[in-house]
Amino acid sequence: MSSSRYSSKAHQREGRISLFATTSNASTNQQTDSPGMSRIGSPDFGSTESLERASSPYESNPHIDYNAAMASQLESQNEETLNTMHMKISALKDLTTKMGDQINMSQHNLGSLGSNMESAGRRIRGNMKRMFVMAERSGINWKIWLMFFCVVFTFFFVVWLF
């Protein structure tokens, strides 16, 4: 195994550790021992300088004085964000109205499908009654009809196989 695989990633750790180091510690701890290799420093937690933390962006700072250019930039950024939000909300509103229209259309289609199925069932029932009446009038027994259909089915089955 070669150590070059691991040495190429050493520079990545320096940036991450330097985020937590104070400015005085970062400058003193990053001295180079040999060319191309640097010593990784760690923050000194014993000093009072490292205990100071950066201010949060959510804390109000009364000493911040926004000039007109900064206020204009923030306002334009706010307008862009609002316009983007407005476009997304409009797209969402259009999508929900189209979904509502599609749901209403589907309900209408299902209702008409149910009524069509009922009317088709009535027609089939009526045709079956008429067919039974016709079969009774012809005077042919149901056993003969069964034998006829069996012969036809057997013929189609044999043709289908060969």
Provide the residue type at 88 as one letter: K
pLDDT at 162: 81
Q: Domain extents for the chain? A: 1-52, 74-162
Torsion of CA 88, 94, 98, 101, to 10 degrees: 140
Pairwise CA distance, residues 39 & 45, whole Å: 18
Q: Which of 6-15, 105-114, 153-162 has the lowest mean pLDDT?
A: 6-15
User: Mean pLDDT across the stretch 63-70?
Assistant: 72
- Identify the H or E element spanning 34: strand 32-34
- Only one residue has tokens 């990053």, namely 30
Least confident of 50-54, 91-95, 136-140, 148-152: 50-54
Measured at the CA of 103, the angle between CA 100 and CA 107, to 5 degrees, comes to 140
Q: Are 130 and 137 in contact (CB under 8 A)?
A: no
Q: How confident is the model at residue 16 (pLDDT cuts 50, 70, 90)?
A: low
